[in-house]
Amino acid sequence: MRTQNEKSKRIWDRQNYCIYCNKSFSKLPRHFESKHSREIEVAQILSKTKGSKERKWMWSVLENKGNHVHNTQVLSKGQGTLVPAMRQSCSTSANDYLPCEHCLGYYIRHDLWKHKKRCPSLKLKGVDPSKGRTQGRSALLLPFPITSSEAFSHHVLGKMNSDEIGLIVRQDDLILKFGLRMFMKLSEPHQYQYISQKMRMLGRLVLTMRELSGSSISSLEDAVCPRQFKNVTEAVRHVAGFDPVKKLYQTPSLALKIGHSLKACAAILKGEALQSLDKVGQEAAESFEDLCSLEWSTEVSHHALGTLAKRHWNKPQNLPLGEDVVKLNRHLKKVAQDNAEKLCKDPSDTSAWYELSKATLCQLIVFNRRRAGEVERLLVEECSKITDEMNSDILNSLSEWEQNLCKKLMRLEIRGKRGRRVPVLMTQALHTNVRNLISARSRVNVSESNIYLFARPFPSPHSLRGHDCIRQFSIECNVSHPENLTSTKLRKQIGTMSQVFNLQNNELDILATFMGHDINVHRDFYRLPERTLQLVKVSRILLAMEQGKLIEFKGKALDDIEIDVDGEFPVPTVIICFCLCCCLRRKSC
């Protein structure tokens, strides 16, 4: 529904729906007062001072409830007109709107965060708006289309293990609705297994509650209610392996994940109750959400987060050795070269194509320090966008060495974590291998429906796994520590070792963008000083203070300070060094 206002005058044609009779009226407060004055909510509003802000906010919330019921019917049937809280001057799609989780008014999804600052429901409760995942929580209040259940059953339920937990999942309506909503949101094929895991996690919770409380819990919906909150927290602690003596979890992340999923299930029940005008169900779901906000931290998440933090204390941070990376690179180049020659001689050699594909995949991961999952899902059609073109003005501003480097490297953009656009650089040799892989696909039994560049041979819709390929080649070339040659630790290596170069802020931004990081994440997690860096840099200050020479190094950088370290260090210096290093690593004494 769009506004019909003109520049010269305002058109009063807005219609709102009554929550009690499901009909539209232009003067809805007048209709409530004349026809539904005995309703509890209407009577409460009429008891407020006429013209007051509180009365205005309460009318707005009641109007939104009726409009929400109408809007969910429109979305379920796929026909009709939405009634938003604020109409736009141009035509918009129904997909552009989401309901506010508090007042149920429909707003443009990108403006929801603005609305929360002045939401009438929050103002009536005197609560400050929460931060984060505004659209995600609001989307849970929308009805889901049944037409998508066939694909969901095929890709998720059809491939789930048929054990006791799988049987519970398939028979539990709330778990199925939770999984179906995830399926609608996560459309990539590699995410289907993740959806299955989240559903089975809730199935384990239901099974545990049955074992602990007998047969009183028949489904997850029975558990998501205020009366069962204590039993739910007890079951979560049991599933995650909580030790009541040590106050530690065996699997702390599982407890945190179950908490997030239970809140999502409560939001689903709340959305259904609103659509069916079930006030009892709505109040039960809201009460469960309130209990989660008030008690979940004390009952579950506090000790789970504490367990995770404790496990990181004094945990060795092993990075790949430079000689191991060099040895792996040489082995990958040899494997790629040998199999490329075999493929040129016989384009139908499936084994050569397979080995060349694995070697090229590993080379791209190692060279770019890219996440393995990002590179392994590189599409064939994306490879046609590889380019070495550059603006002539920008190219002329570079040094001669940088210009030559630009001519020898090609660049491709792919989707990174959280939808970020991240680049992949290719040498000419790698680009040649990619072209050979594409040209020989039809001759080595790769399925035509497989859209991935690094496809599995034979009829398979999936891609190769980058982690498995790196592990295979690391063992083959006999490196010292193959367990350290993973895409995660290779990324950690470049982030940590970049400190040695003393990068400027703009250079650090370039590196973080290339790695696909938020700059704050890069500083906090990928630039953590290792023990060696802490000792060799911080100890210079401490030794200079110990020897009374600090004034001699005024105006110098840490790398310019050189101190005689022959002989034993005084005991106070050793203690101060150790304490300061611990403070730097843990950010607290």
Written as one letter, the residue type at 246 is K
What does the pLDDT look like over 85-128, one tens digit per residue? 888 777 777 878 889 989 999 998 888 888 988 899 988 888 88
Strand partners, 426: 410
- What are φ and ψ of residue 577, in 5° steps? -55, -50
Per-residue pLDDT, 247? 93
Beta bridge partners of 24: 17
Copy the structure tokens of residue 327.
């040895």
Cα distance between residue 105 and residue 115, in whole Å = 9
Mark residue 568 as left, alpha or beta (left: phi above 0; alpha: psi -120 to 50; beta: remaining). Answer: beta
pLDDT of residue 243: 94
pLDDT tens by residue, 278-293: 999 999 999 999 999 9
Q: Give mean pLDDT, residues 175-199.
A: 90
Query: What's the pLDDT at 266?
Result: 94
Asked if 515 contacts 368 with a C-beta cutoff of 8 angstroms, the reply is no
Instruction: Give the H or E element holding residue 147.
Output: none
Cα distance between residue 182 and residue 199, in whole Å: 10
Identify the sign of the CA torsion 413, 416, 422, 423.
negative
Is residue 489 classed exposed, middle or buried when 0-12, 13-18 and 19+ CB atoms within 10 A define those classes? middle
Question: What does 191-250 look like in DSSP terms, one character per residue?
Answer: GHHHHHHHHHHHHHHHHHHHHHHTT---SHHHHSSGGGHHHHHHHHHHHTTEETTTTEES
Mean per-residue pLDDT, 5-21: 75
Q: Bridge-partner residues for 88, per DSSP?
A: 2
Q: What angle do CA 551, 554, 557 make, to 5 degrees?
A: 130
Average pLDDT of the chain to the nearest whole number: 82
Reply yes or no on whether the pLDDT at 529 is more than 50: no
| Euclidean distance between CA atoms 412 and 426, whole angstroms | 8
Return the percentage of the chain with pLDDT > 90, whole number. 40
Yes or no: say if 493 and 348 are a contact pair by the CB < 8 Å rule: no
CA-to-CA distance for 179 and 168, rounded, in angstroms?
A: 13
Please report which helix (H) or strand (E) contains residue 516, including its range.
none
Q: How far apart are CA 53 and CA 289, in angstroms?
A: 28
> Residue for token digits 């950690």?
492
- For residue range 406-447, list pLDDT tens digits in order: 777 788 888 888 778 888 888 888 999 999 999 998 888 888
pTM of the model: 0.69
Measured CA to CA, the distance from residue 560 to residue 108 in angstroms comes to 56
Q: Express each pLDDT in 29-81 by its tens digit.
A: 999 999 999 999 999 999 999 989 999 999 999 999 999 999 988 888 878 88
37 φ, ψ (degrees, to nearest 5): -65, -20
**Are 430 and 454 within 8 A, CB to CB?**
no
Cα 78 to Cα 64, 67, 203: the distances in Å are 20, 16, 32
Look at residue 570 in the predicted model and tell me its pLDDT: 44
Q: Residue 322: what pLDDT?
A: 82
SS3 159: helix
Judged against a pLDDT cut of 70, whether residue 575 lies above it is answered with no
3 state SS of 477: coil
Q: How far is CA 55 from CA 24, 59, 108, 116, 572, in A?
A: 21, 6, 25, 19, 69
Tokens 């040899």 -> residue: 334
The H helix count followed by the E strand count for the chain is 27, 8
- Which alpha helices (H) appear in 111-148, and where do they start and end? 112-116, 120-125, 134-139
232, exposed or middle or buried, with CB in 10 Å at 0-12, 13-18, 19+? buried
Q: Where are the beta strands (DSSP E) in 368-525?
A: 409-415, 421-427
